[in-house]
Structure 1
Amino acid sequence: MEATVWGAYSIAYADGTCDAKEIAVLEKTIAALPAFAPFSGEIAQMSANIRARYEASPRSANAEALRQLADIAGTDDAVNVLCLCLDIADQDGIGPDEEAQLKKIAQALQLPLEQYL
Structure 2
Amino acid sequence: MKKPSPTEREALLIALLTQLFSGEITEGKLLRTLRKELLNMSQTEYAALVGVSRRTLSDVERDTGSPTLAVLNAIFKPFGLRAGLLPRSPTLMKKMLAGEMPGVVE
Q: State the TM-score, normalized to the length of structure 1.
A: 0.31
Which structure has the highest helix share of the two? 1
User: RCO greater where, 1 or 2, for CA within 8 Å and sep 6 or more?
Assistant: 1
